[in-house]
Amino acid sequence: MRHLNHFKIWIDRLLQKPLVRGSLWLLLGKGLRVVLQATYFVMIARTLGVENYGAFVGTTALVGIVAPFVGLGLDTLLLKNVSKNRDLFREHWGNTLLMIFVSGLGFIGVLVIAYPIILPRSISPLLIFLVAISDLIFGSITLASERSFLAVDRPNISAQINIFVMFGKVLAALSLASFFSQPNTLAWVYLYLFSSFVAALLAISLVHTLLGTPKLALARIKDEVAEGIYFSISTSAYTIYNDIDKTMLARFATLQATGIYAAAYRLIDVAFIPVISIAGAAYAEFFRKGKDGVAATVAFAKPLVAITSLYSVVAGIGLFVLSPIVPQILGDEYINVVVALRWLAPIPLFRAMQHFGGDVLSGTGFQIFRSCAEVFVAVFNIAINLYLIPLYSWQGAAWASLASDGLLMIMLWSLVAFQYHKQNYRI
């Protein structure tokens, strides 16, 4: 009985820690999102078929590369600064919304004009336009809203928004399967647009009700953009080597190959959600710890790296072993997903290491080093994909992903080690 009481006391103390509470809330949200995302993915992949699914994923991947530049990093800057001083929220929120709309509309125009250079002409400009509005405007508003609640230590609300976003997509996918006798990509994108709009409307309403209305501080925008752009570059570079291969497959291989590879990658993304949950809950704390230097931030990161790395190894083994059941769920068109998934199984471990190495650099004021490393790897990824995809289709894309993710993991932690030893030498 005494041991049981000690255990209860230990649990109570553990739950009092903001990071633990935040992680649990986000993990709960992400856990529900895993179920919803898996449901959504299976429904869309089966309903559209491998070729139409490939067209949709190729389009969203291209838009996703541009998405981090919408808002020019002001949403991340909001998280960074408001986590230290909540009184700054309204001004940061106002500037963030302004830049989302201004930059988002500009990038939509660029994508509609330039997409034929990158994607096959069989993909219509209307498809690009609708996906761009969904992800660049509505998706950016939703993401900024989630980060607003993380900045003020209310991860429960952020988790609820996350769940609602995915639930809306599931309903949209259900509508496609139920009400369209001949489902196609364009019909799906209209439903996708509507679900994104509703999610953004709910998210921004919650922010205005619980945190406050926006207030413009135009005099600060120039300085905020100058700092925030580094976060945009970093995120975009990360997105490039994460998603550009799907766009390049659509352009240099076939939409069928794109669908196969994207389906395997989607399962990798689903398996990685718990790591994202922990990283999301801890992100603001990295900036707080960063005030005490690299050593303090590394000490904070160590248990996170240990836990997420162990999980990622288990997840990778699970993906490898269970891959043969995928065609039974998605359909015979996806038989090659088995091999693709086995090749990509190490990715969760690489990504877990990357996340926290990069967050150490961001939290300690070395975002520029993180950005440079990610830009370098993004360029490297594009170069080897240009060579490998025309020769080996999705197999080449898989090899390029493994090489790029492994390289970035090594580079980020090498930079952390350099700054760590540099700081200790000075002391």
Kindly report the average pLDDT of the chain as a whole number. Answer: 86
- Give the per-residue pLDDT at 8: 47
Residue range 279-337, pLDDT digits in tens: 877 877 888 888 888 888 999 999 999 999 999 999 999 999 999 999 998 888 899 99
Per domain, the residue ranges of the chain are: 19-426
- Give the per-residue pLDDT at 27: 59
Taking CB atoms within 8 Å and a gap of at least 24, the contacts of 291-298 are: 293/364, 293/423, 294/360, 294/364, 294/416, 294/419, 294/420, 294/423, 295/420, 295/423, 295/424, 297/360, 297/363, 297/364, 298/360, 298/416, 298/420
Residue range 322-374, pLDDT digits in tens: 999 999 988 888 999 999 999 999 999 999 999 899 999 988 888 889 888 98
Q: State the average pLDDT over residues 94-104.
A: 92
| CA 245 from centroid of its chain's CA atoms | 16
CA–CA distance from 196 to each of 134, 142, 168, 174 (Å)? 6, 9, 8, 15
- Give the per-residue pLDDT at 4: 46
